[in-house]
């Protein structure tokens, strides 16, 4: 069997959810607006509501342009609502992401990985520390998730599965007021990276393979559930080192990477299938599209915070 340098990366990114007072105010504040996360500070995750598309794998059923709930990263601003929740591993706050009507003038965080819009994007996190993250080949898979404990034992829980479609170098560019709001990749990734001193170029920006008609094989996805009458609170699905994932993920890794190299396409497909089966076995669908966070004026987001939790943008 020939090999082509395909790799699978277990990428442990830290953080649970934005719940601290400096982010969402005091605990007696039931809802509000979380500002864009300031640059050069730590990252956490959000449990988000958005319009998107999801595949129920076992039922071969597509849900298109529906309200979804999922875990992920969005360092731009969001409307948030506190939920009646027992807490970890369930979220206590849900967010609906948006872009402000005017571009930032101070350093702000970029979103990485980003699952919104036309392509899943992984742009720069930890690439300066790990050469392997700058040299991934098309077809490689990155499993983004967090370390935690499940019933007293270490666990690794998935929020994003990115299958590399292509890679390119892109410039980190300044925010430009006249063009801000027209391109999500620039607004959420390239320009925020510039404000944080990201240099002239992001040398390895990975674009995830998308699910599309007529295309077979692994695709990028985020575990998600369809929102019915209320936000579908759930814990990120745990990936266990069983089946094709044996030796590929290590639940004990609290941070950093585990890289499995020199895989055949058949090996990679078996690993992706195992990931998919473990995710769907925990009552999650495969979210394969999330609508770009809308550009909204301040009065609109303040009004949204006074209403029931819903995805913004309609």
Whether residue 67 is contained in a domain is answered as yes
Tell me the residue range of the domain where 228 lies. 6-36+47-305
User: pLDDT 10s per residue in the chain (314 long)?
Assistant: 334 589 999 999 988 999 999 999 999 999 999 999 999 898 999 999 999 999 999 988 999 999 999 999 999 999 999 999 999 999 999 999 999 999 999 999 999 999 999 989 999 999 989 999 999 999 999 999 999 987 789 999 999 999 999 999 999 999 999 999 999 999 999 999 999 986 678 999 999 999 987 777 999 999 999 999 899 999 999 999 999 999 999 999 988 899 999 999 999 999 999 999 999 999 999 999 999 999 999 999 999 999 999 999 97
**DSSP strand pairing (295-296 vs 99-100):** parallel
Whether residue 42 is contained in a domain is answered as no
Taking the whole predicted model, whether its pTM rises above 0.75 is answered as yes
Whether residue 314 is contained in a domain is answered as no
Whether residue 310 is contained in a domain is answered as no
Give the separation between CA 250 and CA 240, rounded to whole angstroms. 8
The C-alpha angle 258, 261, 262, rounded to 5 degrees, equals: 170
Whether residue 313 is contained in a domain is answered as no
Query: Which residues make Cβ contacts (< 8 Å) with residue 265, sequence separation at least 6?
Result: 4, 6, 139
How many structural domains does the chain have? Answer: 1
- 58, 37, 56, 55: which is closest to 46 by C-alpha? 37
Whether residue 121 is contained in a domain is answered as yes
Give the separation between CA 235 and CA 221, rounded to whole angstroms. 16
**DSSP strand pairing (46-56 vs 201-208):** unpaired
Strand order in the sheet with 201-208: 121-122, 201-208, 153-171, 141-150, 6-12, 256-263
Overall size of the chain counted in residues: 314
The C-alpha angle 290, 119, 182, rounded to 5 degrees, equals: 80
């Amino acid at each position: 069997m020939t090999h082509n340098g395909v790799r699978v990366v277990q990428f442990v990114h830290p953080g649970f959810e934005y719940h601290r007072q400096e982010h969402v105010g005091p605990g007696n504040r039931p809802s509000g607006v979380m500002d864009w996360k300031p640059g050069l500070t730590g990252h956490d995750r959000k449990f988000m509501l958005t319009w998107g598309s999801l595949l129920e794998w076992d039922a071969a059923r597509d849900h298109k342009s529906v309200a979804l709930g999922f875990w992920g990263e969005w360092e731009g601003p969001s409307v948030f609502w506190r939920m009646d929740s027992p807490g970890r591993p369930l979220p206590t706050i849900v967010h609906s992401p948006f872009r402000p009507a005017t571009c930032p003038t101070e350093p702000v965080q970029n979103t990485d990985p980003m699952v919104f819009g036309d392509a899943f994007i992984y742009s720069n996190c930890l690439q300066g520390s790990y050469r392997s993250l700058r040299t991934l080949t098309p077809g490689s898979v990155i499993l983004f998730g967090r370390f935690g404990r499940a019933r007293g034992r270490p666990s690794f829980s998935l929020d994003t599965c990115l299958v590399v479609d292509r890679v390119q170098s892109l410039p980190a560019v300044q925010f430009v007021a006249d063009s801000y709001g027209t391109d999500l990749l620039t607004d959420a990734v390239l320009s925020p990276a510039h404000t944080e001193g990201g240099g002239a170029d992001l040398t390895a920006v990975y674009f995830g393979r998308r699910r599309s008609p007529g295309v077979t094989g692994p695709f990028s996805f985020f575990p998600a559930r369809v929102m019915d009458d209320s936000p579908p609170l759930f814990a990120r699905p745990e990936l266990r080192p069983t089946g094709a994932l044996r030796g590929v993920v290590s639940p004990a890794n609290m941070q950093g990477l585990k890289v499995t190299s020199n895989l055949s396409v058949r090996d990679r497909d078996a690993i992706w299938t195992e990931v998919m089966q473990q995710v769907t076995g925990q009552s999650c669908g495969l979210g394969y599209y999330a609508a770009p966070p809308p550009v909204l004026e301040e009065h609109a987001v303040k009004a949204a915070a006074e209403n029931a939790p819903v995805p913004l943008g309609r």
